[in-house]
Amino acid sequence: MDQKYPYPIITEKIYGKDLTILGVEHKHDFFNEYREFFENFVTRQDAIVLEQVLHRSLGVVNFWEGEGFYRDVGKIAGSQGKKVYQVDPGNWGVFVLDLETGVLGSCMAAVTTFNLLESYIRRENISRRKLLKRLLKLAVGVQLSWSGLPGIIIQDDLSGFFGGYGIDDLLGYGAVDYRNIVIAEDLERLLSYEVPSISRIGSIHGYLHSAPIQTYLKNRELRMKRLVYFPHDVIGDTKIREYTPRGDDWRLTRTF
C-alpha cells in the first residue's frame, strides 16, 4: 500500500520514539482517494499531529470543522480514541507579518543565515558561489519570495488554494519557513518529555513541508535561524495544542 502513495513517507527515531512525517494534499478529494491508506496510517500511531487549518476568509479554523481534509483525518483519530496535537503557529499573524517585512529585514535575514549555516555548508560540501546565488534571490525581499504570503497567493491563482505551499527552501525567509522550524522544534519537544505515553506519532502536513521539517529535525544548528524570526515569535501562537476526542467533537485538553 505504501508503495502506491504519491509522496515520501519519512520516518525518524527521536528520543527512542518513532516519528512518521506524512506529506499530503490537504484536499477532500485526496483523502477520498487514499482513505484506506489514511485509516491504516492512523491505526499504527499512538497519536496524530495535524497541520493548523488556515482559511483565507475564515481565518484560523478548528480541524474538526468544515468539510476539509483534516476534518476527515480527525474523524479517523477520534473513532480510535486517539489524541490530536497541533504544533505549528496557530494564528494568521505570522502570514500577515510577511506583508509588513521589507527588503532590509530580508537582507538582515540573509546575512544572519549565511553566518549560521557556514558549518552546514562545509559539512554538506555546498559551494559558497551556489549559496550566494541562492541568497541573492532572498535579498530582493520577502515580497518576491515564494515562501512569503504574496508567493502563496500567486500560486493560489495558478494551482488552487492550500493544495501545497509552493517552492520553499531552507535559505528562504518567510512565514512558511518559520512554520517549518517551529514544527520541527515542537515535534522534538513533544517526543522528548511532554507526552511520555506516546511511542509512535504520525505528523501530517502539506507535502511541501516534509523535507524542510526533516532537515530541521536532523540539524539543530539550522534551527538557529529562528533568531531572525523574532517578530514572528512575538505575534505567533507557538504553544502545542492537545485535543482529546469527545463524541463527534473535540476538547482542547491543554496547551504547553
Q: What is the pLDDT of residue 174?
A: 79
Residue 66 three-state SS: coil
Q: Which residues contact 41 (CB under 8 A, 6 or more apart)?
A: 20, 22, 202
Q: What is the pLDDT of residue 67?
A: 76
Q: What is the pLDDT of residue 46?
A: 98
Q: What is the pLDDT of residue 93?
A: 61
Q: Which residues contact 83 (CB under 8 A, 6 or more apart)?
A: 47, 48, 77, 242, 243, 244, 245, 253
Q: What is the pLDDT of residue 228?
A: 84
Q: What is the pLDDT of residue 171?
A: 56
What would the grid cell of residue 233 be? Answer: 515569535
**Per-block mean pLDDT, blocks of 10 residues, the chain (256 long):** 81 97 96 97 98 75 88 97 93 58 48 53 58 49 44 45 43 80 96 89 96 95 89 84 94 96
Q: What is the pLDDT of residue 89?
A: 86
Under 8 Å between Cβ of 212 and 177: yes
- To the question of pTM greater than 0.85 for the whole model, the response is no
Q: Report the C-alpha gap between 91 and 123 in whole angstroms.
A: 36
